[in-house]
Each structure stands twice: as C-alpha cells, then as structure tokens.
C-alpha cells in the first residue's frame, strides 16, 4: 500500500504529469467559477483530447478538473449567488451575504482554506481506511440513503426560523417540483401534462440557476439605477489568517467528517453532505441566528464537506467501480477508453494508475489552494463592476448553464419561470432555499424509500433494523421534536 502510494507520487512528480494536473486544476477552478459549466461537462470535453495520452496523465487531468470545480463552484455561489451545482447552492446561503457586506475576499478566502482542508482530511481518511470507505459505499443501502436525505431535509427547518409554516410550505413546493416527471421506480408519468420535455422532470440545473441566479437579478433590478454596486465599494482584500480559520474548528471538523463519510455513499455525495454539515454546524452554534446573514462558519462547513467528498467518491470508484457522482461515472468510462478495466479487479490490474490517481488527488488539492488564493484578487475586481455590467453576465451564464444541462432551450424557459416564481416567493418571505432543498433531496428520499421497501417486502421495520439506522431515526425524531418545542417557545414569547 505505502509502497504503491510512494510509486504513485513518483509518477505524479514527472514534470509532464505535474503540468497536466496543474492545468486540469486551473481549468477546473475556471469552469467551476462560471455558473452553468460543470465538472462532468469539462471532463467529457477533455476526454477526446486525452485519448492520445497514457492513462495516468489523462486521468490526472480529469482529477485536477474534478477537484478544481468543487471550489470554483462556490466562487460563483459567493459572488453572484448563482451556484453551478447543488453542492454550491449551500455555500451561497452565507457566502453571498458576506459578499454583499463587502467581505467577498474574506468569504472566498474561507472557502479556499476550507476546501483545501476538506480535501486533505478526506484524502488522509480515504487512503488510510480504503476498506472502510469502500465498505460504506457498499453497505449503505437504500434505507440508509433515504434516512440520510431525510435528516438533511429536517435540518432545513433550522433555516426557517422566521416562519416555520412558510419554510414547511417551501419544502412542500420543492418536493412537488421534484416529483414531476417519470418516477424512478415504476416509470409512471407524473405532472407531465403530456409533455415529453417534462418526462424527466424539472431539470436540476434549471431549478438552481432559476431560483438562485435569475431570482437575485430580478430582485436587484430595482437597484440598477442606484450607483451602488453588487457589493459595497469598500475595496479591501482581506484574507482570513490561518489562525482565524483554525479557530473555526467546529465547522471544518464537522464538514470534513460528513464530507468524507457521506461522500462515499453513492447517490448522496456532495449534495447531501454539504447541507447536512451546514445544518449540524448551525444547530450546534452558539449564535444560530447569524447563519444565512453572512456567518463565515456557514461558508466553512459546506465548503469543507464539498471537497471532502472527493476522497469519499474516488475510493469506491477505484476499488469497486461504483461511481459516487456524475464526474466519477465519466471517469469510469474514461478508464475503459484507456484500456483499463474498472471494477473490483482494478487495484490488481491497474495498480499503477490507481495509486497515481490517489496521489494526484492530494496534489490537485495543493494546486487548487495556491491557484485560488492568487485568483481571489481577480474575482474581487470583477465584482467591483457596476450592476449594469455584471447582471448581463449573470444572465448569460445562468442561461448557458440551463441550456447546457440538456443541450436545448426547454430548461432555459423553466429557469426563467422559476426565477420569477422564486422572486415572488422571496418577496413574500418564503425562503427559496427550502424549495431548492425539496427539489434536490425529494427525489433521493422518494426513490430510496420505495426501493428499500420493495427489497424488504414492504416491511417498514427495515428502517430500524441496523444500529446506524436506529441512530439516524433517533436524530430525526429529536430534531423534529426540538423544532416543535422551539416553535412553541417562540410563540409564547411573541404572545407576551
């Protein structure tokens, strides 16, 4: 193992490989920072370019992109509130308010530190506990995945301190939107109104860029005439010190832990891990009300979790051939095209590539850290531009993002519709984030609950037949009761 890894590092340190890894990471950051361009998309475009390369350098390029986009995605979430990925959406919650307060450099700095830290933590966990991580990927069955997603959804109620009812309605709307299209178990068409476009439901990317990106542009249009800029004019690049970052140990340790473990669960990955760690950090915070208004912990937690999933997805992909997300699914395809055979035998038949990729995963994290720190100045400069210059770009990128998800216009219309809808919802005090969460987690919960029940022959006891499941049910019950209790206390106070 150690020997293999040392060999892997030696291979990575060949100048050509190192250069490709660096370029991949750079490209990843750029692609991630442009809303709408995603990691799977960049990897698939690179694929033909890498045909002529040896397998390792080709895959190192892809790993660079994969790692880079994880952080890049939060840049756009912080700066423009237009996340390119469900995982980036969580960072927007506190990152964007920080940017509005003129702390964009600080927010980006925290995100960069957190991503680097998350990547390294998960790498160490992944490499030292390969059998453990593969075990999680393999043993987590549909019942566990459903419970993890429900836990994430329940924690959302923490976002809705304003009005529990409005938050609840938001989640329900999200769940309804998420239930559109062909259902994933019985292939029954729901709310498609006979339209083929809606057969696969409301496109994810459209919901994200619509509810976040378009909605924010619409709501800020009234400010267009004012001379104020997207962020305040106070232009000061203030980066967090390492000490500042370390002080937030609670946020990054929770994010790193959740990211590494939940990242390994196929089908939940970064989407679930970021929200769960955000919710947990907020619930454990001394000052939960600061969240959503520009609390740095609210950036650190999801960002650590986001990058910590890279170790969690990479290990099952290399050891079992099980992809954790869309990017790793494409990398499995790339392994075939480069003459390797992904699956349980890859560790034996392609050991050199496997260890090279593991080494590359860590090095990409290091590259990402330095490139991102250097790039913050540039991003902040971009943000200083007037709204009338920035907004067209946000609109163009959001439109591109929606279009590219299906390679056609339908998602663009959906995004525009949801943008207007999201704007009115926010105006009326419904937190848009609850809708987004319902859209993201709803289908995961529904599909996994149903398959779990089918496998268990409709026995609901399947959800309490292992210790992890009992613990998760316990947490869910506790959270629900706690929320109700808090709600009642607040009502009492407001009555007095």
Partner 1 sequence: MRILILGLIFLFGSLSNLALAAYPDQAIRVIVPYKAGGGTDSIARGFVGALSKAAGVDVVITNVNGGAGSKGIIQVMKSKPDGYTLLLTGSTDKIGLSTFRKMPFKSIGSLETVGGIYTTPTYVLAHKDRGYKSLEEVIAKSKANPGTLIAGIGGKFGAHDVLANAVNGYKNAGFRIVAYDGGAALKKATIANEVDICIIHSPVLLNEVKAGLLNVIGTGGSLAKITYPPIQKTKTLREMGIPADVGVTRGLWAPKGTPKEVIQKLEKFIAEAANSDEFKKFGNNFGFAPRYYTSSQFLDLLKTEQAVYTDIKGKFMSK
Among residues 94 and 446, whose Cβ is nearest to partner 1? Answer: 446
Minimum distance from residue 414 beta carbon to partner 1 (Å): 12
Of 167 and 411, the one with the shorter C-beta distance to partner 1 is 411
The angle that helices 15-33 and 39-49 make with each other, rounded to 10 degrees, is 140
Of 2 and 187, nearer to partner 1 (C-beta) is 187
Q: Minimum distance between the CB of residue 82 and partner 1, rounded to whole angstroms?
A: 22
Question: What's the CA gap between 314 and 107, in Å, rounded?
Answer: 28
Tokens 């050891």 found at? 319
Residues 496 and 489: their CA atoms lie apart, in Å, by: 11
Nearer to partner 1, 281 or 320 (CB): 320
Region of residue 187 (phi > 0: left; psi between -120 and 50: alpha; otherwise: beta): left
Cα separation, 184 vs 449, whole angstroms: 11
In the complex, least distance from residue 336 CB atom to partner 1, rounded to whole angstroms: 5
What distance in Å separates the CA atoms of residue 235 and residue 183, rounded to the nearest whole number? 49
CB atoms within 10 A of CB 75: 29
Distance CA 191, CA 206 (A): 17
Nearest distance, CB of residue 439 and partner 1, angstroms: 16
Residues at the contact surface with partner 1, assessed by CB under 8 A: 40, 44, 47-48, 51, 137-139, 141, 182, 184-187, 196-197, 199-200, 203, 266-267, 320-323, 326, 329-330, 332-333, 336-337, 339-346, 406-408, 447, 451, 454-455, 457
Closest CB to partner 1 among residues 150, 380: 150
Distance CA 285, CA 452 (A): 34
Name the packing angle between helices 326-337 and 39-49 (round to 10°).
Answer: 10
Question: Cα separation of 310 and 263, whole Å?
Answer: 7
Are 262 and 312 within 8 A, CB to CB? yes
Q: CB-side exposure of 128: number of CA atoms within 13 Å?
A: 7
Min CB(38)–partner 1 separation in Å: 11
Q: Smallest gap, in angstroms, from Cβ of residue 379 to partner 1?
A: 29
Instruction: Give least dist CB 344 to partner 1, A.
Output: 5
Nearer to partner 1, 156 or 354 (CB): 354
State which residue, 114 or 198, has the beta carbon closest to partner 1. 198
C-beta closer to partner 1: residue 186 or 494: 186
Residues 43, 59: Cα–Cα separation, whole Å: 10
Q: How far is the CB of 222 from partner 1 (least distance, A)?
A: 36
């Amino acid at each position: 193992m150690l020997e293999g890894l040392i060999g892997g590092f030696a291979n990575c340190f060949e100048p050509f490989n190192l250069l490709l890894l660096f370029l991949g990471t750079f490209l990843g950051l750029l692609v991630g920072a442009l809303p709408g361009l995603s990691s799977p998309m960049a990897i698939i475009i690179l694929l033909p370019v890498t045909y002529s390369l040896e397998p390792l350098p080709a895959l190192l390029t892809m790993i660079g992109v994969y790692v880079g986009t994880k952080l890049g995605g939060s840049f756009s979430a912080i700066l423009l509130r237009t996340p390119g990925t469900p995982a980036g959406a969580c960072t927007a919650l506190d990152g964007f308010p920080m940017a509005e307060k003129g702390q964009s450099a600080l927010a980006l700095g925290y995100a960069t530190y957190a991503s680097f830290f998350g990547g390294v933590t998960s790498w160490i966990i992944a490499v030292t506990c390969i059998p453990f991580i593969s075990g999680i990927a393999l043993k987590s069955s549909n019942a566990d995945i459903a419970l993890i997603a429900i836990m994430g959804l329940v924690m959302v109620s923490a976002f809705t301190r304003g009005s529990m009812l409005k938050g609840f309605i938001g989640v329900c709307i999200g769940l309804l939107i998420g239930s559109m299209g062909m259902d994933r178990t019985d292939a029954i068409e729901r709310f498609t109104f006979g339209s083929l476009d809606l057969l696969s439901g409301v496109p994810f990317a459209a919901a994200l860029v619509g509810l976040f990106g378009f909605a924010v542009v619409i709501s800020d249009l009234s400010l267009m005439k004012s001379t104020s800029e997207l962020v305040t004019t106070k232009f000061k690049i203030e980066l967090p010190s390492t000490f500042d970052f370390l002080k937030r140990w609670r946020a990054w340790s929770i994010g790193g832990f959740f990211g590494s473990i939940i990242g390994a669960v196929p089908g939940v990955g970064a989407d679930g891990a970021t929200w769960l760690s955000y919710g947990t950090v907020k619930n454990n915070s001394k000052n939960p009300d600061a969240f959503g208004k520009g609390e740095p912990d609210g950036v650190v937690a999801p960002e650590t979790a986001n990058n910590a999933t890279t170790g969690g997805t990479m290990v099952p992909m290399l050891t079992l051939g099980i992809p954790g997300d869309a990017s790793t699914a494409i990398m499995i395809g790339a392994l075939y095209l480069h003459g390797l055979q992904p699956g349980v035998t890859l560790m034996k038949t392609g050991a050199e590539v496997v260890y090279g990729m593991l080494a590359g995963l860590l090095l990409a994290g290091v590259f990402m850290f330095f490139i991102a720190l250097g790039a913050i100045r540039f991003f902040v400069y971009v943000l200083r531009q007037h709204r009338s210059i920035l907004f067209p770009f946000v609109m163009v990128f959001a439109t591109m993002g929606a279009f590219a998800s299906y390679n056609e216009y339908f998602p663009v219309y959906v995004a525009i519709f949801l943008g207007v809808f999201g704007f009115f919802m926010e105006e009326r005090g419904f937190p848009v984030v609850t809708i987004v969460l319902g859209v993201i987690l709803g289908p995961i919960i529904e599909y996994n609950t149903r398959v779990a029940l089918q496998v268990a022959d409709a026995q609901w006891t399947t959800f309490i037949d292992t210790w992890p499941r009992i613990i998760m049910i316990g947490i869910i019950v506790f959270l629900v009761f706690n929320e109700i209790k808090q709600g009642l206390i607040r009502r009492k106070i407001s009555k007095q």
